[in-house]
Chain A
Amino acid sequence: MYQYDAVDQDFVADRAREFREQVARRLSGELSEDQFKTLRLMNGLYLQLHAYMLRIAIPYGSLNSRQMRRLAHIGRTYDRGYGHFTTRQNLQFHWIKLRDAPDILDQLAEVNMHAIQTSGNCIRNVTSDPYAGATAEELDDPRVWSEAIRQWSSLHPEFSFLPRKFKIAITAAPKDRTAAKVHDIGLMIRRGRDGQLGFEVIVGGGLGRTPYVGPTISEFLPANRLFSYLEAILRVYNRHGRRDNIYKARIKILVAALGAEEFARQVAEEWAKIGPEGDLPDTELARIRGAFAAAAFDPLPARSEVFEAAKAADPALARFARNNLRPHKKPGYAIVEVSLKTIGETPGDATSDQMDVIADLAERYGQDDIRVTHEQNLVLPHVRLDDVPEVFAQLQAAGLASANVNLISDIIACPGLDYCALANARAIPVAQQIAQTFADPDRAEAIGELKIKISGCINACGHHHVGHIGILGVDKKGEEFYQLTLGGSGAEDAAVGKMLGPALPYDKVAGAIDTLVEVYLRERREGERFLDTYRRTGVEPFKEAVYADAH
């Protein structure tokens, strides 16, 4: 966890104070709603159908227990006792009163948190690998770079009024848990032939109406030149990105229009003019690295007898271990994923009480470290294997022990027509139906990794384009229909899914998913995930089965 210094603390306190004054001006009538709109959006405050929604930044999805408890407290005091973790590792409260917003920002500032740039046409929260600092796969700790980008992008003088929002993801592991290739900028840490650190820079990926897997514009950018290069990309975009049409304003449209090569050339030209003056000094990067309190790991045997015995005695724990535990870089430790996809619940929601439980567990068993994943789950990155049985028991008691991470019921769904004015169709009930259909945990495990992502409209907040199975709600003459896509992925093998066939009515969706799964189980070869089988066989067997059933 990065430790704020006095500068960082002053910064969020100044910001909170500014917003308090702005809210006072709004409440006194000095500002109209229209004038106030820009100001509140700069602080993550949206006006929705019934109330204000406040989106709180969780930079690169990293929290400590004190911060998690504060979020729980805010949920209990100012909202309805729960919050919603988002696909950008943030947290949203949906029932906020305007007059409470300044107090909430003060409360956040006290624990080194804020809502800066969680909305608006600026550089948004940087997302990163939730296993950072815990996985042996990584070449470097991506949080160091994420924090440096957080600071560099905060109230950036030149890039706070971009053509459209701008999202950066950064990962240092070959297995991409950030969806880097579908971000405005995806940074993948690489090691050069001479051992130096650098970045592969991917620009112009995105979802929404026009999904793209972003092209690579630099195979290897030396790490110490990152900030001048980011400045060059942002400057080319700020100057040349479209501002005449909100749907064509993202950088992906500019990159696609120019072609990746020409875009890269323009960036290189601008970069040469900026020069190393635009870079962050190595001393500051070293300071940030040092401000991440190093986790203190005990030397432990790789095998925990306590854990093995508990697993042998409790099949539920064994199942949890198979699906929710990931290897840790240190022997005797594990990365524990906490699923927020309990069958029958709203994906990504956690109650204040559940947040407190997670905070307690992190403090007691997890080095005070909590992460949020872009797939809307939580992670305790450093748990001793010896402690896993106790952690599991407490998660069970809190209703947080679903052993379904990466399985078919670990679904991303946008709020959909139940909450969102833009939606064409419901998303959450579809997710719930599918989860119910695959409620048998043995069957779910037999099916293996299968990522279903559901969006209630073409804005694609549920990332349907990159679901192994994507589901898009469409409106057909006032009725909800669902377009299925297959073969998408947001990971290192990123791809945009292909349409299966005509859209299906609401009550046929869960059945169609069942059919797709049956085809996969029939066709799969040893070791193949659903995605692999689909990529080998193509769409035909799937299409045939679904539409044979539908007729």
Chain B
Amino acid sequence: MPTLIRRQDNDQFVLADDPFTAVSDDEGLPPGDVIISFTRFQAEGDSLLAEGRAVGVRLEPAEEVEALAYDLPRIAVVALAFPKYRDGRGYTAARLLRQRFGFGGEVRAVGEVLREQAGFMVRCGFDAFVPADGSTPQDWAHAVHRHRHVYQRAADMRTPAYVEREGG
């Protein structure tokens, strides 16, 4: 079982049981809650949701979140794939999900997910992580809380420096 780290509302990081099974396109569907590709969701999403399952959708970097906009209220998880950690398209996708489409479900990082990305990911609105480097919730908390200040407003609602300064 891959590790699933979740960021809680109180900004703590915990190991979580994953109720979802990630299913690739060439696999048969197991019972229960599943995360499937966008292509498969387009074909089978309606029937799976009608069965009462919770459904998550995995988006590859080249797949645009806009295509998912109308389905977001029905989707429990958007899993954004990082085939390579260097591929930064998922950060934009996460921010748009949170800030433009107001998605309130889980935004999960899957693929080559490393603790070094933790700070950036959390700021862009990711709240669940399947790390590929064996890192622990403690590692993630450490990385995320490293910087006492941030300079930009983003999806995590941290107070940017320019607002902090007004208070001081």
Contact = CB atoms under 8 A, between A and B. Distances in A.
Interface in A126-169: 151-152, 154-163
A163 B124 CA distance: 18
A287 interface: yes
B151 to A, nearest CB: 4
Interface string A195-236: 000000000000000000000000000000000000000010
Interface string A157-196: 1111111000000000000000000000000000000000
A7 B159 CA distance: 12
A17 B143 CA distance: 11
A18 interface: yes
Contacts of A158: 88, 91-92, 95, 120, 124, 154
B117 to A, nearest CB: 8
Interface stretch (A251-259, A276-284, A386-394, A421-429): A276-284
Interface of A: 5-8, 10-11, 14-15, 17-18, 35, 38-39, 42, 121, 151-152, 154-163, 235, 238-239, 243, 273, 277, 280-281, 283-284, 287
A238 B119 CA distance: 18
B151 A154 contact: yes
Contacts of B95: 157-158
Contact of B151 (A35, A121, A152, A277): A152
B147 A160 contact: no
A239 B151 contact: no
Interface stretch (B5-13, B17-25, B47-55, B160-168): B160-168
A117 to B, nearest CB: 12
Contacts of A163: 88
Interface residues of B, number: 35
A243 B87 contact: yes
Contact of B120 (A151, A161, A235, A284): A161
Contact of B147 (A14, A239, A283): A14
A18 B151 CA distance: 18
A161 B151 contact: no
B123 A157 contact: yes
Given A7-B161, A155-B150, A157-B123, 10 more contacts: A7-B164, A15-B147, A157-B120, A158-B120, A161-B86, A161-B117, A238-B89, A277-B153, A287-B162, A287-B165
Contacts of A283: 162, 166
Q: Which one of B61, B95, B100, B147 has the highest number of Cβ atoms from chain A below 10 Å of its Cβ? A: B147
B42 interface: no
A239 B92 contact: yes
5 contacts: A7-B149, A7-B164, A7-B165, A14-B148, A157-B156
Contacts of A243: 61, 86-87
Contact of B124 (A39, A154, A157): A157
B164 to A, nearest CB: 6
A38 B124 contact: no
B34 to A, nearest CB: 27
A39 B116 contact: yes
A155 B151 CA distance: 8
A266 B69 CA distance: 19
B64 interface: yes
B92 A235 contact: yes
Contacts of B123: 157
Contacts, number: 93
Given A15-B147, A18-B146, A161-B85, A155 B120 contact: yes
Contacts of A35: 133
Nearest to A285: B162
- CB-CB nearest 4 A-B residue pairs: A161-B88, A157-B123, A284-B162, A151-B151
Contacts of B146: 14, 17-18
A262 to B, nearest CB: 17
A18 B124 CA distance: 21
A183 B95 CA distance: 27
B107 to A, nearest CB: 13
Contacts of A18: 146
Contacts of A161: 85-88, 91, 117, 120
Contacts of A277: 153
A15 B146 CA distance: 8
Contact of B116 (A8, A38, A159): A38
Interface in B114-168: 116-117, 119-120, 123-124, 133, 146-156, 161-162, 164-166, 168
Contacts of A281: 162
Q: Which one of B133, B149, B154, B166 has the highest number of Cβ atoms from chain A below 10 Å of its Cβ? A: B149
A5 B165 contact: yes
Contacts of B92: 158, 235, 238-239
Nearest to B91: A158
B158 to A, nearest CB: 9
B142 to A, nearest CB: 9
A159 B161 CA distance: 18
B110 to A, nearest CB: 16
A357 B165 CA distance: 37
Interface string B76-116: 00000000011111011001000010000000000000001
Contacts of A157: 91, 95, 119-120, 123-124, 150, 152, 154-156
Contacts of B148: 10-11, 14
